[in-house]
Structures are given as C-alpha cells and as structure tokens.
Amino acid sequence: MNKKITGTTGARDRRLHNLGRLFRPSSIAVVGGSQAEGAIRANRRAGFPGPIWAVNPNRAMLEGERCFARIEDLPYAPDAVLLALSPERSVEAVEGLSAIGAGGAVCMAGGFAELGTGGRVLQNRLRQAAGDMAVLGPNCMGVLNLFDGVAVWGSDNRMEATGERGAALISQSGAFAFGITNIERGFPLGYSISTGNQAVIDAGDCIDAVLEDDRVSAIGLYLEGLEGGNRLGGACWRALQKGVPVVALKGGQTPAGEAIAISHTGAMVVETDLWQAFARRFGIAEVSTPKALVEALKFLTVSGIPRGNRLSAVTFSGGLNGLIAAAAPARGLTLPQPSDEGRAALCAVMPDTVPIANPLDLNVPFSSASGISAENGESLAQGIANLARGVSDMITFFLDVPHRDDLALDAIWLPGLKHMGAVSRELDVPCAVAGILPEGLDLQLRQELINAGVTPLLGFADAMEALSVGAWLGQAQLRAAGRTAPRLLDAHPEGAGTQMLDEAASKALLRDYGLSVPESRSTTAEDAGPQAEEIGFPVALKVLSDTIAHKAKIGGVQLGLNSREAVDQGITDIRQALKGAPGAPSSEKFLVEQMVGAPAAEYIVGIKRHAALGLALMVGRGGIEVEAYRQYRALLLPLIEEDLAEELSGIGLVPGALGYDALCAAIRAIATFAQAYQDRLQTLDVNPIIVTRQGSAIAADALIIFSSCSETALCLQ
C-alpha cells in the first residue's frame, strides 16, 4: 500500500512518500507514558498485524508491550510513531526519529504556535527537526486508517472496519475528528486525520496522500484557517480530476476587524467571501454543518456523484411533498415531472386518488391483486423507476422507519426499500433513503441500505444539503473537464505600513492598463476655474488627498458644476467642509474632472489582499451604495474568464446586457494592474464605475493603497 506519491519533486516528494508510510504503516512505535496506551489498545482491537513498539525509559512495560529506553534502541526505523510527550521533548524525539529514518510521526502536544511568539519559535524548531520525515501536528490527534486497522492516534477509539470503499476525513480540529469517528455509525469512513497546527504536513499534503489509496471515494475537510492556498487548491483539483470529490466545512469565517477596513472592498469582502471564491475555483463543495459534512460524504461514498441536479422524490406523505417542493429549488435542485411513458405506466397501477407528480406520494394500499401495493416491494420499486426513468439524475425515498425492536413493521415499511438498490442499478443513478428525523433510520437498516448501494441519509435539512452537494459536484466535474489546473497569485506579506495614492495618481496608473477614466486636471484653487473651462462644463470638483479615503463623506466632492463661478463656490464649500476633518490635507490640491454622462447603472470593482490566497477581486452593484445593495461577488486572481461570466450572472449581469462588455473590459484592466503590482498592492477601489446609457464603462473615482516603500517612486514602478 505504500505507493510513492506521484506528481511531486524533491523534498516534498520524499516527505509525501513518508506520509504514505505514516498512513499505511507496517510497524508502529509509541513514545511516552499512559497517554500512549490507548493507541496500543486500538491497534490490537483492530487487528494491526505488524509490530507495536513502546519507548519509555522509566517503564518496563506499556499496555503489555516491552519498553525500549531510547528511540535508537528500536529494532529498525518504524513507519509510524505516536509522540505523547511534552513540547520540548517532542522536538527532541522528532530529531532522533528523523536521524534513524522513521517514516512519520504524530506530535500530540500543544504549546506551539497557538501560544504566540515563543510557541512559534518552538514550532519552527520542530519543522527543522523533521527533515524529510512526515510530522502531523503539533496539537493534533493523529491518524486512523480504518481500512487497514491502524491507529496512530492520541486515544483509544472505535475501530470498526470499513469495506472496500470509504471516505477520508481531514480535520484541523482533533476534537471534531474524534467525535465523528466515535459517534457516527453507518458511515463508511476509511481515514480520520487530524492535522492540528500543520507545522510540517498540511491538509493539501494529506489529500495527495489519501489520493494514492484507490479505496478512498470522497474527502471531507474541516478547516479552521487557510494556509498554502495553492497547495490545498491544487490537491483538491487533482482529487476532482480523479473523480474523488472534496467537501469542506470552513470554521472561523468572521475575523474581528474586517469591518473597520479603509476601503469598501476591505470592509465588505470578508473571509467567508474569499473562502467561497477559493472553493468555487478549485471545485470544493461547501457544507454548513458538521452533520451535513457526514451526510454528504456518505452519499458520495455509497452512491457516487450525480450527473446533474434533477431529483425524483418519493414519500408516503402528501404533507412532506410540500416541504420537498419548497426546499429543492432553494438548494439548486429541480423536480422534473415523469416522462409521458412513465406517467402512463404509473397511471396504470396507482390508485385514482393519487396525483402523478414529482414528488410522488406513494399513498397505496397495503395489498393489491393488480396494482402497486406496500407489501409488494418490487411493484413499489417499479413505480419509483417509472417516475424517474429518463428524467432524473438521482432518486430519494423520504421516510422515517420506526425502529424495529419488538414491532412487526417489516411488511409495512421495508419491502420497497429492499428493492431501491435494483432501481439504482437499472437506471444508473444514485439512490438514497432519507430519514426526515435525525434518528429516522435505525443502524441495522442503514447498514442494509449501504450494502445494497443505497445511501441512508439522516435528517431532512442535512439530507437535502447532501443531495445539493452531489449535484454541485457533478456540475463542477463538467466545468473542470479539459481545463488546466487553476492557480492563485503568490501570497506576499503585508508591509510595515501603507501608502495611499490620491485619486489623480490612482487613475493615472489604472489608465495605463486600459481603464477608461474621464478627462481631468490636477490643479490649484486659483487655476481650477480656467481648467474647468478647458475641459468643458459640467465638471466635478474634488479635493486631492493621499490621506482621505472617502472624500464625498466629508464634503470633499462637488458635482455638476456648470460655470467658473460654480467652481469657485465649490472650492469655498470644500474648504469649509474640510476644516477640522480627520486626515485633511496640509496643502490644497484639487481635481477638476469631466462629468460622466447620465448613468444607466453603477458598479464597484475592488481588490483585497489575503495572507494565504493572494489577491481577490470584488465586483458589485450600486457603486458608492454597494454596502446598502449587498449584491457583490468575489473572485480570486488571476482572473479566469469562465469564472468571471459565472460570477457576474450571480449579480444579474449576463452577456448582452447594457454595458456588459465594457464592464468586463474594465474588470480585466483592473485585474491586470493588480497582477502587475501584486507584491505591494494592499487594496484598491474603483468606485463607482459608471455604465452610461451608451454602454460605456467609466471609472469616476479610484483609490489605491500600497504597502509602504522607502521611496514613492519605487512604489509606482
């Protein structure tokens, strides 16, 4: 099973090869005391066939295993090691293990980067000590391989064997992974991996490693932060291309301080927006709850990815049909009506009192000599097949089945369910049975359904989300077909300070990259009137400042001035407004600018830097009122044309609309500028971009903020 990881080179290639040893070991060592005993018990219970060695200089035996005094005393270099030690001793142990050629280690200890500066120093030492060795953590639970009965894990654990196919769960939270592996039942899980602080091995590395195991059918992620965007995204893209879908739950999406950012883009585009843009780019499906993550992984593992979003739904309840009809479109699912042939076949066997529609209420008699009936599971299955044949991408039977216990309910509830696997195979579409309540299907029934190739889903909302995830991934696979792997711009650290450009300097830079801007002049108060006459009335008059981000909010903008006298009065009004205003410029400079024609619509296009994802672009409706409209979408750079078209459609802009082509050209110009200055650009607002009634797109205002440079000229090169 320890195949060499493909597609990588150098040090990462060697480390990922060792990660395969850690995940699929032939030998295991535990270093430490009582906290390591649980791993020994879990491996024994799972039937791990290889040697399990214990290292502890102060004990003769650990959970029945003879203890070696030192790592160097082990018979040979182990593939996998659990370190149940203090932070300092963990670093020392990693050094020793790397020296003898161990494959990988799980560093359980906390007390590293999560504690601040001192912890970061220690974590850097751990990273350096690892060398080519694969180290999970620190501050993590480790890895469970339930395919092969392996626990390099900081606790005893349930170790139920998984069949030939299973999901891999990769979680930054150890508690999250521990809970799922010990609480969830009837969930085919092959790997549970806790990455912790990701000092050496990150989630992208883990994805690449589990992709080498052909038994992995789907990958679930629980992410608390985003680091190494290209590594993580590239691994998810490789999974999508291989047909192994990735589903993610992202925590911590509202960091403090976003709302007080200087620019509109900085204030509006928060972590949630950037994560969603990242997920869309790399084909990662999103879920909203831990249970939805489990249900989605279960559906993808047991039933596979649907070809589309068409759902045929079956119930024993007309009332439930209304819930499904309302929930499906909200989840991006359609409910196609049966074909003419299917309708005719259903009409021939269904009672006259039952409407033939999708969702279908199987309100049928218990017994029937000629038609469909509850006791005749094959007739129910054929009815479901006739509903879906030729029109659906997936089928779900929504019902709660009373737990059998001492109740003789098999004849009422179970006959139709027993034939759902046959329906799935006949129509070649995924099939599921969804309990409306979280406990709507008992464990025995869930396992029977899984064995038949039918997914048991639990809880109405989570089941609908799982079906929606499947449909989204089917479309993502189609979009990805034939496309080269996307990338992000390299992330650059923020500078020690920032440098704001005034509007004239900002527009001059952007104009060089193809952005249309009005004719304008930078001028003094005395020359503003003559300059306005040269441009031609009406004009806009604005204070020029590299300290004021939002001039209009403090009275620094006068619009629609039609004479020299109006310009002179505008100067007076701006001077009065700026008296005592925070950030008011120490010297007077003004911008006189041609007024843009009557707007048909106004937009904002902005850029924001992210520490892990590089630069993000935001486009939104409303111009300076964008925060009231809240209609905006975020994309990551470099720009991908297909993504741009899709995101613009999300705010109601489609090809052929007035100004669509001109706005797209403006967005491309801004994106090109941002890429050219990617190492120093912090944020950018072009707001508003006015789409005129003639269909042109003109930037009426612009703000650029760079990282500080020692010399202004260097910033503008």
Q: How is 88-105 classified by DSSP, letter by letter? A: HHHHHHHHHHHHHT--EE
Residue 703 sits in a domain of what CATH number? Answer: 3.30.470.20
pLDDT at 492: 77
pLDDT at 482: 82
Based on the fold, state whether residues 385 and 333 are members of the same structural domain: yes
Gyration radius of the chain's alpha carbons: 31
> What are 89's two structure tokens?
């001793």
- Does residue 265 have a pLDDT over 60? no
Residue 542 sits in a domain of what CATH number? Answer: 3.30.1490.20
Low-confidence winner among 76-80, 148-152, 409-413, 697-701 (lowest mean pLDDT): 409-413
625 within domain boundaries: yes
Based on the fold, state whether residues 348 and 394 are members of the same structural domain: yes
666 within domain boundaries: yes
Instruction: Give φ, ψ of 211 to 5 degrees.
Output: -65, -20
pLDDT at 710: 41
Q: Where in 21-103 does DSSP place strands (E)? A: 28-32, 52-55, 61-62, 65-68, 80-84
Distance from C-alpha of 473 to C-alpha of 479, rounded to nearest angstrom: 10
Domain count, the chain: 3
Quote the pTM value: 0.91
Based on the fold, state whether residues 351 and 464 are members of the same structural domain: yes
Confidence of residue 261 (pLDDT cuts 50, 70, 90): very low
Handedness of CA 152, 135, 113, 250 (dihedral sign): negative
Q: Where in 228-376 does DSSP place strands (E)? A: 246-250, 284-286, 311-315, 360-361
Q: Tell me the CA distances in angstroms from 87 to 93, 109, 118, 136, 138, one per residue in order.
A: 10, 6, 12, 14, 8
258 within domain boundaries: no
Based on the fold, state whether residues 529 and 622 are members of the same structural domain: no
The H-assigned helical ranges of 401-552 are 410-413, 420-427, 443-451, 460-480, 503-511, 528-535
219 within domain boundaries: no
- Does residue 494 have a pLDDT over 80? no
> What are 704's two structure tokens?
């650029």
Residue-wise DSSP of 546-571: SS-S-TGGGT-EEEEE-SHHHHHHHH
pLDDT at 410: 60
pLDDT at 258: 40
pLDDT at 637: 97
More confident residue, 554 or 673: 673
Bridge-based pairing of strands 539-543 and 590-594 is: antiparallel
Provide mean pLDDT across the span 627-656.
Answer: 90
Max mean pLDDT range (228-237, 329-338, 486-495): 329-338
**pLDDT tens across 107-138, in order?**
999 999 999 999 999 999 999 999 999 999 99
Based on the fold, state whether residues 354 and 437 are members of the same structural domain: yes
Based on the fold, state whether residues 374 and 351 are members of the same structural domain: yes
468 within domain boundaries: yes
Peptide bond into 486 cis (omega under 30): no
pLDDT at 72: 96
- Does residue 193 have a pLDDT over 60? yes
Q: How many CB atoms lie within 10 A of CB 487?
A: 18
**pLDDT tens across 514-528, in order?**
999 999 999 999 999
160 within domain boundaries: no
Based on the fold, state whether residues 586 and 661 are members of the same structural domain: no
Based on the fold, state whether residues 362 and 400 are members of the same structural domain: yes
More confident residue, 2 or 11: 11
In terms of residue numbers, what domain contains 613?
A: 599-715
Element (H, E) at 394: strand 394-398
List of long-range contacts for 420-424, beta carbons under 8 Å, 24+ apart: 420/381, 420/384, 420/395, 420/449, 420/452, 420/454, 421/449, 421/452, 421/453, 421/454, 422/381, 423/381, 423/384, 423/385, 423/388, 423/395, 424/303, 424/395, 424/453, 424/454
**pLDDT tens across 438-465, in order?**
999 999 999 999 999 999 999 999 999 9
- Does residue 506 have a pLDDT over 60? yes
Q: How far is CA 409 from the centre of its chain?
A: 42
**pLDDT tens across 202-217, in order?**
999 999 999 999 999 9
pLDDT at 327: 98
Provide mean pLDDT across the span 615-644.
Answer: 87
Q: Which of 429, 460, 480 is the last residue of a domain?
A: 480
Specify whether the CB–CB gap between 372 and 379 falls below 8 A.
yes
pLDDT at 35: 86
**pLDDT tens across 529-581, in order?**
999 999 999 999 999 999 888 888 889 999 999 999 999 999 999 999 988 77
Based on the fold, state whether residues 382 and 318 are members of the same structural domain: yes
Based on the fold, state whether residues 328 and 401 are members of the same structural domain: yes
Distance from C-alpha of 674 to C-alpha of 342, rounded to nearest angstrom: 55
Provide mean pLDDT across the span 585-594.
Answer: 87
Handedness of CA 38, 44, 47, 50 (dihedral sign): positive
pLDDT at 406: 59
- Does residue 397 have a pLDDT over 50? yes
Specify whether the CB–CB gap between 415 and 377 falls below 8 A.
yes
491 within domain boundaries: no
More confident residue, 337 or 377: 337
- Does residue 13 have a pLDDT over 80? yes
pLDDT at 409: 59
Based on the fold, state whether residues 445 and 577 are members of the same structural domain: no
Distance from C-alpha of 185 to C-alpha of 447, rounded to nearest angstrom: 9
Q: Which of 549, 574, 594 is the last residue of a domain?
A: 594
Provide mean pLDDT across the span 221-229.
Answer: 87
Low-confidence winner among 71-80, 120-129, 221-230 (lowest mean pLDDT): 221-230
Provide mean pLDDT across the span 673-688.
Answer: 95
340 within domain boundaries: yes
Low-confidence winner among 136-145, 527-536, 701-710 (lowest mean pLDDT): 701-710
pLDDT at 597: 84
Distance from C-alpha of 610 to C-alpha of 595, rounded to nearest angstrom: 35
Determine what percent of the chain is predicted with pLDDT higher than 90. 74
Provide mean pLDDT across the span 367-391.
Answer: 85
Query: Which residues contact residue 713 at a Cβ distance below 8 angstroms, ignoring those fewer than 6 apart?
Result: none
Distance from C-alpha of 165 to C-alpha of 492, rounded to nearest angstrom: 40
Max mean pLDDT range (389-393, 598-602, 616-620, 638-642): 389-393
- Does residue 319 have a pLDDT over 70? yes
Residue 337 sits in a domain of what CATH number? Answer: 3.40.50.261
More confident residue, 497 or 307: 307
Provide mean pLDDT across the span 343-370.
Answer: 85
Specify whether the CB–CB gap between 222 and 284 falls below 8 A.
no
pLDDT at 273: 87
Q: Which of 577, 594, 611 is the last residue of a domain?
A: 594
- Does residue 6 have a pLDDT over 50? no
pLDDT at 519: 97
Based on the fold, state whether residues 552 and 692 are members of the same structural domain: no
Confidence of residue 586 (pLDDT cuts 50, 70, 90): low
